[in-house]
Amino acid sequence: MASTHGAEVLVASNRGPVSYEVRPDGGAGSLHAKRGGGGLVSGLSAIGPDANAVWVCAALGDADREAVRRAEGGLLPAEDTGGQRVRMLDIDAGVFSDAYNGIANSVLWFVHHMLYQTPLEPVFDAEFRRRWASYQAYNRAFAEALAEEAADGAAVVIQDYHLALAPRMLRELRPDLRIGHFSHTPWAPPDYFRLLPDDIAAELLGGILGADRAAFLTRRWADAFRDCCHAVLGSPGIPAGTRVGVHGLGADADFLRERAHRPDVTERMAALREEIGEGRRTIVRVDRTELSKNIVRGLLAYRQLLDDHPEWRERVVHVAFAYPSRQDLAVYRDYTAEVRRVADDINASYGTEGWTPVVLHVKDDFARSLAAYRLADVALVNPIRDGMNLVAKEVPVVSDEGCALVLSREAGAFEELGEDALTVNPYDIQGTATALHQALTMPAHERAERAKRLSAAATALPPAQWFLDQLHALDENRPG
Ligand code: F6P
């Protein structure tokens, strides 16, 4: 297959570094590009413009599709991408929706985060099989684009559960390439993974095993993957040609500290202080409104704290930012409504004239998140299960006075931060309430000391390093 751009390094992910919206004030057809951040963006900028890299991603909506139609030579305009070469794939909207909403987010995400209410779900019926065919087609579209873009022997790093089949498909098209797959989620233990139909479980594992290297955020998820390979595929599990690796992803200290002291953040701190009220303590959480983030139980634990320790009434505020996510799925819309309902209920039951116990914001605002980080006395990070959780790493870095961290033992970040956090079982409301009380009463010097150590651990593996380590590990597969 002919190479279009002869890239030496390729990244593939569902969500790319840029997304488009039609600007209401820009007249007909006016597209506005919005750039994202994260580990891959930092990683690709770290290897520099001479590295000859291409990022392959999917068009997520109509505006993205329009941008693809306008793109010359298949690449998005450099001014939209910050100079990065990005090939966005215009996959049929129905196929994309089946693959992204119907399989990746409704099945694979649920399996790895163990989110099913098993008496009634999952149900693997004919409709599931139809969607699975779309998931295969979506993965094939990525594999074909990568095969076209890659130079001889290029390194390809394929990201996440959306693209579990792509490594094997790409291997078949281009045996010369060095292929890595990286999972940003947890990996399910075998008993849970085997909820999937046997052939699908084997296809998923076989897809990832098409890579030279399958990598994970923590040892725990890598071990679970190995265990699933043994349980589903039998001995030897992982074939000799595939290695399994671990690359923790840390917070970007320099970026966060600089960004958190810009004027827009200071402005939002003033507005938040107004909402919180003079002299009150803050328990801060910032999440996508994501089922696995356990926001509702966090609110219930806060209510328990107010019951068990009435001395905190009027003296503490739970600042909860729950930003919209995956609103195409009814279960996410229902969960979002439940978060609001429980927050409103706490405010109605406990609030007073001058005290709103829960300050809930649902509109995504990065500067306001950083403002909340700076004001945090306590950070609450209590996911049911989480690949890593960067909020747990970011708040201790940014908080002005040093915050105490209440952390779920089910977050990947727990492996690195557990020693200086207050650990919780995310299902245990009473235990979480007790941990919140301990965090609020922790002496200031202890809190500051712990935050310093948390911050050091959280920034030990900066995003650029995380990416470069993956690339270097693939170098070991270079012939000769
Ligand atoms: O954790 C997996 C992941 O794909 C992250 O990389 C990302 O932050 C998150 O899920 C968001 O998912 P989506 O692209 O569906 O909003």
350-400, pLDDT tens digit by residue?
A: 999 999 999 999 999 999 999 999 999 999 999 999 999 999 999 999 999
- Predicted confidence at residue 374, as pLDDT, reads 98
User: Quick check: 428 pLDDT over 50?
Assistant: yes
Average pLDDT, the chain: 95
Count of H-run helices and E-run strands, the chain: 20, 15
What ligand 1 atom has the least distance to the C-alpha of 387? 1
- At residue 124, the pLDDT reads 98
User: Residue 118, CB half-sphere, CA atoms under 13 Å: how many?
Assistant: 8
What is the C-alpha to C-alpha distance for residues 167 and 162, in angstroms, rounded to an integer? 11
Q: What was the pLDDT predicted at 37? A: 81
Residue 28 has pLDDT above 80, yes or no: no
Q: CA-CA distance, 345 to 479, in Å (whole number)?
A: 62
Q: How does residue 215 score in pLDDT terms, banded at 50, 70 and 90?
A: very high
pLDDT over threshold 80, residue 73: no
Residue 418 in contact with residue 407, Cβ under 8 Å? Answer: yes
- Does residue 402 surpass a pLDDT of 90? yes
In tens, the pLDDT along 148-187 reads 999 999 999 999 999 999 999 999 999 999 999 999 999 9
CATH code, residues 7-249+465-476: 3.40.50.2000
Q: Which of 300, 289, 283 is nearest to 379 (CA)?
A: 283
> Atom 9, ligand 1: which residue's CA is nearest?
184
User: Looking at ligand 1, which residue's alpha carbon is closest to its atom 6?
Assistant: 184
Task: Tell me, in angstroms, the distance from the centre of ligand 1 to residue 14's CA.
Answer: 9
Q: Is the dihedral of CA 42, 96, 33, 263 positive or negative?
A: negative
Domains 7-249+465-476 and 253-459 share a fold: yes
pTM of the model: 0.96
Cα 136 to Cα 142: distance, rounded to the nearest angstrom: 10
By CB atoms closer than 10 A (0-12, 13-18, 19+), residue 38 is: middle
Q: What is the pLDDT of residue 196?
A: 98
> How much distance in Å is there from the Cα of 350 to the middle of ligand 1?
35
Distance, in Å, from the CA atom of 422 to the CA atom of 466, rounded to the nearest integer, reads 26
- What is the mean pLDDT of the segment spanning 129-155? 98
CA separation for the pair 454, 115 (Å, rounded): 29
Q: Is the pLDDT of residue 3 over 60?
A: no
Q: Which residues line ligand 1 (CB under 6 A)?
A: 15, 160, 184-185, 325-326, 387
For the chain, the structural domain boundaries read 7-249+465-476, 253-459
Ligand 1 probe mutation, 11, 13, 14, 15, most atoms within 8 A of CB: 15
As a whole number, mean pLDDT of residues 315-327 equals 96
Lowest mean pLDDT among 111-125, 181-195, 465-479: 465-479
pLDDT at 45: 82
Q: From the CA of 20, how far away is ligand 1's center (Å)?
A: 17
226 neighbors 329 (Cβ within 8 angstroms): no
Residue with tokens 């919780």: 424
Ligand 1, atom 5, residue with closest C-alpha: 184
Task: CATH number for 253-459: choose from 3.30.1330.10, 3.20.20.80, 3.40.50.2000, 3.60.150.10.
Answer: 3.40.50.2000
Produce one character per residue of 76-100: b if its CB has 16 or more CB atoms within 10 Å, e if not. Answer: beeebbeebbbbbbbbeeebbebbb
Would you place residue 480 in the very low, low, confident or very high pLDDT band (cuts 50, 70, 90)? very low
pLDDT tops 50 at residue 2: no
pLDDT for 479: 53
Q: Are 323 and 363 in contact (CB under 8 A)?
A: yes
Q: State the distance from the centre of ligand 1 to the C-alpha of 388, rounded, in angstroms.
A: 12
Nearest CA to ligand 1 atom 15: 326
Model pLDDT for residues 232-262, shown as the tens digit of each residue: 999 999 999 999 999 999 999 999 999 999 9
